[in-house]
Amino acid sequence: MSILVNKDTKVIVQGFTGKEGTFHASQCIDYGTKIVGGVTPGKGGQEHLGRPVFNTVAEAVETTGATVSMIFVPPAFVADAVMEAAEAGIELAVIITEGAPVRDMMYAKMYATKKGMSTIGPNCPGIITAEECKIGIMPGMIFKKGNVGLISKSGTLTYEASHQVVQEGFGITTAVGIGGDPIIGLSYKQLLPMFEADPETEAIVMIGEIGGDLEIQAAAYIKENISKPVVAFIAGQTAPKGKRMGHAGAIISGGSGTAAEKMAALEAAGVKVVVSPAEIGKAVKEVLSK
């Protein structure tokens, strides 16, 4: 078992024939992901990486039965691509593209939600169910199969955490890179219950960062709803207070989104919080051998 995606998940790629799309789609195919086709407007009818190319997502979905889309289109066109996927009945869009305007993502996510489509990202490494299905740009071989679920805002820290978990003799069920943009799709709060419900996941690792209050919300959720052990690391404990202009940010968030605040909230929720990023693997071992 796993969450959201597995070896049977049918995936299409939006921005399939571009440089990034091509490179990463072929890596996903090598990993074993069921990439069933792709979309590049104007190239419909062609074949790419041995898969059919379609002009529209609707056509791709109708022909292939895909339920997930991996999005690589350039930032200016991301919102359009996400909304097209939602309109076509895609269930989950994994948005890899970095640099999408916030206003665009705001509209795109509203529309996705209205259409019942979940999103991951943008500006994220994607999602991987170890040894089954990789939808994104992460190095697949770092994720050995196991019993730890992983949720992370940061790309390379996702790899770091998985690597440490594997070195301690454990492995990963599913790892989700949720991205750190101001507007993101699925977050800790939506993913935690999925891991809680997944019989194979026995512990959850949560990697956060300074800024925003998603980790604080997660802490409140964990306290009430999560019975499995959770290990957390928050990056940016030593980040200097940014030079700012204006006061609005501090007013709206109530708190200032510091690492210390987040670590305290998580600890109070019973989470095993590590101070050093090198201790993630050890902490997992500790909570799993209790």
Residues classed as catalytic: 247
User: How many Cα neighbours within 13 Å face the side chain of 201?
Assistant: 30
152 belongs to the binding site for other proteins (CB under 8 A): yes
Contact region for other proteins (CB under 8 A) — 31-39, 52-60, 175-183, 196-204? 175-183
- Residue 143 token pair: 């994720």
The DSSP 8-state label assigned to residue 155 in this structure reads: H
Residue selected from 227, 244, 289, 290 as contacting other proteins according to rule CB under 8 A: 244
According to DSSP, residue 153 is labeled: S
Residues written for the chain? 290
Question: Considering the complex, what minimum distance in angstroms separates the CB of residue 161 from other proteins?
Answer: 10
Pairing type for strands 51-54 and 47-48 reads antiparallel
Binding-residue pattern over the window 121 to 150 for other proteins, x denoting contact by CB under 8 A: ----------------xxx-xx--------
Smallest distance, other proteins to C-beta of residue 60, A: 26
Please say which residue, 53 or 130, places its beta carbon nearer to other proteins: 130
Least separation in angstroms between CB 59 and other proteins: 28
Minimum distance of other proteins from residue 54's CB (angstroms): 27
Cα separation, 34 vs 70, in Å, equals: 12
CB of 204 closer than 8 Å to CB of 149? yes
> Which CB, 100 or 231, lies closer to other proteins?
100
Per-residue binder mask for other proteins (CB under 8 A), 14-43, x = binder: -------------x----------------
Nearer to other proteins among residue 35 and residue 61 (C-beta): 35
Instruction: Decide if residue 116 touches other proteins (CB under 8 A).
Output: no
Instruction: Kindly identify the residues of this chain, within the stretch 37-76, that bind other proteins according to CB under 8 A.
Output: 75-76
DSSP type of residue 218: H
Cβ-based burial of 175 (10 A; exposed 0-12, middle 13-18, buried ≥19): buried
Pairing of strands 51-54, 68-71: unpaired
Q: Record the tokens describing residue 95, joined without a space.
A: 């948005």
Total of chain residues touching other proteins, rule CB under 8 A: 59
- For the record, the structure tokens of 243 come out as 């030079």
206 contacts 222 by C-beta, under 8 angstroms: no
Min separation Cβ 160 and other proteins, Å: 6
Distance CA 135, CA 68 (A): 9
The correct pick among 29, 49, 183, 264 for binding other proteins (CB under 8 A) is 183
Rounded CA separation 257/235 (Å): 12
Interacting span for other proteins (CB under 8 A) from 8-16, 61-69, 260-268, 276-284? 276-284
Q: What's phi and psi for 110, nearest 5 deg? A: -60, -45
Farthest CA pair distance, the chain: 57
What residue ranges bind other proteins (CB under 8 A)? 27, 75-76, 99-104, 106-107, 109-110, 137-139, 141-142, 152-157, 159-160, 163, 180, 182-183, 207, 209-210, 212-213, 217, 233, 235-240, 243-254, 275-278
